[in-house]
Amino acid sequence: MASKPSSSAAGAAASRGGGGDYGGARREDLTLDKVSEAADAVATASSAGEVVRAIHAVAALVFPVDSAAVAGTVDEPFRSQIINAISLSDDEQGSWMHAFYHGPAFPTISKILLSNVALKWLRQISASARKEIYDSFFVKGPPTEVIQALVPALSHKGGSKEDHNTICSNIERLLILCLVENKGVGQIIAEFTVSSKHDEDNLNPGRATLISRVAQLLASIPDKTRMGASPALSSSSFFKCVVDQLLLGAEQATVELDADEDANGSDASNSVLLFVGETISRVSRRGSTGILVAELIPRIRSHLKRCMESDHKTIGPDMIKRVSQSRFWFNMVEAIRDQHSIERLAEEMLRQLASQRTSDEEAYWILWTLFNQSFMHNTVMRGMFVDKFLLWKTFPLCCLRWILHYAVFQFPPNSAIETQKQRTSNFLGTLQTLVSAWSKKECVQSYPVEQQAYITAAIGLCLEKMSKRELETTKDVLNNILEGVSCRLESPVDLIRKMASAIALTFSKIVDPNNPLYLDENCLENVEWDFGVLSPKEITAPKDVEHRSKLKASLPENKKHVAEKKAKAIKHGISDNRAKIVEIKSLDSCETSGHAMNGDFEEEECDEERMNIDASSESSLEPYDLSDDDTDLQKKFTQLTDLAAALRKPDDPDGVENALSSAEKLVRASPDELRHNSGDLARALVHVRCSDVAMEGEEDSTEEKRQKALVALLVTCTFESLDVLTKLLYSSSVDVSQRILIIDVMTEAAQELAETKIVRRELRHGNLISDTSPSWLVPSDRGPPGAGPWREVSESGTLLNWSHRYEREVPSRSGQVKSGKSRKWGLEKAKDMQTEWSKNRFPL
């Protein structure tokens, strides 16, 4: 952009003050007059040639222009006027250029060029003329001034949508031209470098505000561009280009300032560092920390290789300090004033280094180079590494080792001083803090398992570096360790008990190395501190992993067992006389194509006991039919004891999932032993970890099965199940998620019980006559003619008769030979039986 950044930047203060070598305020007035003439000509222009002539009159005063090429694109009389325009010397153009860009002239003409000219005339101007007299105003100008003119214009409002798109597309084209193709960010660094050399007060409030504004505008470009803008202005592409130019330019500026004897002392690079810090902070705040770190890691790696001497295999602090570029890397993080951005930068760097399988030593020196100067002088930075990154964040195990070596042990891994270095008070204080938090019951109850594993690993790695004498100097560490081990051994979660066993074993080795304490029969001598949950995750999935995941998703039944799709054949080797078991994938159409390409035939050597196979038998050479080998795993559960036992086998995820699928149906059947096994089954269901047994993407379905089974248990066997779940709710052996589960199932069970229908019988009695006379007991005398009187008939065979029976003779009708029927008249219980069946078999 700026062809002469030194001349434009060095005279900035003089120009604004009203004097200086470049003309001062008088020349600024002259340039503004020229711009006013051009603006009037453009406003009244009737042809593109007139617009070209008006813009050329200003451009020829500010920077070199190929007037002959421009004149060839227009007709007379504008061609002659362009050729006969005044031409200035380089020095005169430098003076005009400074007055033009650092005064009111450039902001004025930029509005005309970006709005009126872009809308009406730019399409009619030829490409060569546009490049010489239109684009050059932005490409050849100081980038700090150009960016302040272009970026705010993207927010232009007014006019039609078509006009808005025309203006914005032209501005986006100029931004790509200035910042991407012509390395505008590097030129901004160069401009600040020149100003730092010559200005005595290079970080006055006005300049600091300018630097912050330029960084803010630069980082906001991807947010302000249109939806259909060029991919070069998207966040990923644009910030990658910006960070690349930023780091390269800052390194070069540091070398240049160190080599210049005329530079203003050690603070000459303050403007450059402030711009770098502001830009990095704003890029990180916009969610592009990953892009920033991806550009940062290769550059600092190449810098460390530059620092390493050829005759040395390892690197040291003195080697790094001797290289001039190191001063930039030491000060870069310190220049970032936003602590949140520093935290995100450090966290993303740790995760990307872990995903790239970086060695411990290389990762240590990367952290040391970037953060050490700020770590030594800034209490907040030390708190970030020692407090947040050890107690509140969760990283892979390798990142934890790097954090401990850098911030706690304060020496590189595998170094000669590791065994000789005296532990610092910082180390002992950090260990005390970790153990104190780890020993509390709230940690077991409230912290996620991954967080508990992370803190446990941090304590274990610290204990491995301690001696018995050092342990005796600490306060309360012994008591806290015993409390933490004790409360974790009470947990029903196997992984938490393993954490207690690992700490107990490591601690016992310090106290008495000859008698290690093994609380778990599966505990190894060398503890694996990742506990299966602290492995690094790949940030970018490899292609083969993506292919396998797609293949897995395309299968009709992802839950089919591997045993259902394999057949074993015994292969005898003639040369070594040893048998090998070859597992051959089944010839399923999907599996064959996927695994054949990957060569997924697994071979496993036999034990010595299997070498006695009868090779002469023909049957021994034939593969066995294992198609029904998985039937035992898929059998339906019919006993509650088997169901509870299956739920307690975390090493058999398929059995656990099958048990969860059968649990609700079996509980709803209300077998006789339910009341005796409900408590055990409730505990097993609460402590199942659905995320460990379910296939990827099906965790919610498995969790739903568990919840329905617990609700069924509470509904069908309320008192026994509720007693167990209430105790678990207030127990220290469950975490927050399990407590929420218990409350949820209690709520659902209560709702189901409240909505159930029960058997209800309602008796409806008729109104009794209060008349004391017995006349109402006798039937009325009314009846057909010839009917006889009523007479009471006593019933034999009953001691108590609650009704009265009366009979009379009734004459038959004409043609009727049958005698009249007796009628019974008396009291009877008037009742209406109403029955409603319950969907719940809860007896109460």
Q: What is the three-state SS of 322-371? A: HCCCHHHHHHHHHHCCCHHHHHHHHHHHHHHHHHCCCCHHHHHHHHHHHH
State how beta strands 791-793 and 602-605 pair: unpaired
Distances (CA, A) of 536 to 294, 395, 700: 17, 8, 25
Distance CA(457)–CA(758), nearest Å, equals 56
Distance CA(783)–CA(507), nearest Å, equals 109
∠ CA 40-41-47 to the nearest 5 degrees?
140
Instruction: Give φ, ψ of 264 to 5 degrees.
Output: -80, 70
Reading the block at residue 407, the tokens are: 């911030």
Distance CA(725)–CA(731), nearest Å, equals 10
As to burial, measured by CB atoms within 10 angstroms (0-12 exposed, 13-18 middle, 19+ buried), residue 75 is exposed
Note the pLDDT of residue 85: 77
Task: Fill in the amino acid letter for 371.
Answer: F
Three-class secondary structure of residue 21 per DSSP: coil
Distance CA(78)–CA(56), nearest Å, equals 10
Tell me the pTM: 0.61
Q: Note every long-range contact of 480-485, with CB atoms under 8 Å and residues 24 or more positions apart, other chains counting.
A: 480/432, 480/435, 480/436, 480/438, 480/439, 481/435, 481/439, 481/507, 483/439, 484/435, 484/438, 484/439, 484/440, 484/443, 485/519
User: Within 10 A of 445 (CB to CB), how many other CB atoms are there?
Assistant: 18
Note the pLDDT of residue 74: 83
Note the pLDDT of residue 540: 52
Note the pLDDT of residue 639: 80
Distance CA(65)–CA(86), nearest Å, equals 11
Which residues share a beta bridge with 580? 571, 605
List, in order, residues 6 or more apart from 842 with CB less than 8 Å away: 715, 716, 718, 753, 756
Distance CA(809)–CA(368), nearest Å, equals 122
- For 581, the enclosing helix (H) or strand (E) is strand 579-585
For the four alpha carbons of 605, 610, 611 and 613, in that order, the dihedral sign comes to: negative
Whether the Cβ atoms of residue 78 and residue 50 lie closer than 8 Å to each other? yes
Note the pLDDT of residue 814: 62
For the four alpha carbons of 196, 200, 205 and 207, in that order, the dihedral sign comes to: negative
Closest C-alpha to 804, from 773, 833, 828, 770: 828
Reading the block at residue 807, the tokens are: 């009979």
User: Within 10 A of 223 (CB to CB), how many other CB atoms are there?
Assistant: 9
Closest C-alpha to 88, from 109, 113, 57: 57
Q: Note every long-range contact of 42-45, with CB atoms under 8 Å and residues 24 or more positions apart, other chains counting.
A: 42/112, 42/116, 42/117, 42/121, 43/116, 45/121
Distances (CA, A) of 672 to 212, 370, 581, 716, 717: 76, 69, 48, 11, 11
Closest C-alpha to 803, from 822, 831, 823, 825: 825
- For 242, the enclosing helix (H) or strand (E) is helix 235-259
Distance CA(673)–CA(310), nearest Å, equals 78
User: Within 10 A of 47 (CB to CB), how many other CB atoms are there?
Assistant: 13
Whether the Cβ atoms of residue 141 and residue 101 lie closer than 8 Å to each other? yes
pLDDT along the chain (844 residues), means of 10: 38 39 70 90 89 90 87 85 79 85 91 90 90 91 92 82 89 93 92 72 74 93 88 92 93 80 56 91 91 93 86 81 87 90 93 91 92 88 90 91 90 66 72 89 84 91 84 81 87 86 87 76 73 71 37 38 36 36 33 39 38 40 48 63 82 82 85 82 86 69 88 88 88 82 91 70 48 56 76 63 71 60 48 49 48
Distances (CA, A) of 244 to 57, 239, 241, 280, 297: 38, 8, 5, 11, 11
